[in-house]
């Protein structure tokens, strides 16, 4: 869960080495229920800043698992405190919602 934002979840993942360039589908499955198909992440070699690397094995989170037909992913919840900082994103989502109750 994301602090201060009810209903907003976040997951952290590392883009696997060898992932090809292009729009890579990502599907999240929780308790056997998959997120709708169509969601993707754009990947392009050399475009990112891979300053944070880890050799740690991928972790799993109880009933939470990921299925990614084109983009195998792993994630470590709460591994990167910085990721809590996303006010701009919330603002964008709220703006798309129109008037909000906040």
49 lines the binding site for other proteins (CB under 8 A): yes
95 lines the binding site for other proteins (CB under 8 A): no
36 lines the binding site for other proteins (CB under 8 A): yes
58 lines the binding site for other proteins (CB under 8 A): no
Q: In what order do the strands lie in the sheet with 27-30?
A: 33-34, 27-30, 64-67
CA dist 27 and 19 (Å) reads 15
Half-sphere exposure of 98 (CA within 13 A, CB side): 0
Residues that bind other proteins in the complex, under the rule CB under 8 A: 1-4, 6-19, 23, 26, 28-31, 33-53, 62, 64, 79-80, 82-83, 85-86, 89, 92-94, 97-102
């Amino acid at each position: 869960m994301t602090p201060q934002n009810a209903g907003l979840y976040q997951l952290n993942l590392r883009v696997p080495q060898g992932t090809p360039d292009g729009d890579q589908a990502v599907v999240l499955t929780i308790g056997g229920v998959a997120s709708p198909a169509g969601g993707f992440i754009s990947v392009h070699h050399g475009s990112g800043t891979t300053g944070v690397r880890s050799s740690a094995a991928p972790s799993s989170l109880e009933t939470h698992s990921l299925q990614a037909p084109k983009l195998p992913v792993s994630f470590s919840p709460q591994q990167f405190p910085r990721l809590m900082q996303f006010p701009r994103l919330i603002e964008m989502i709220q703006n798309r919602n129109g008037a909000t109750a906040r």
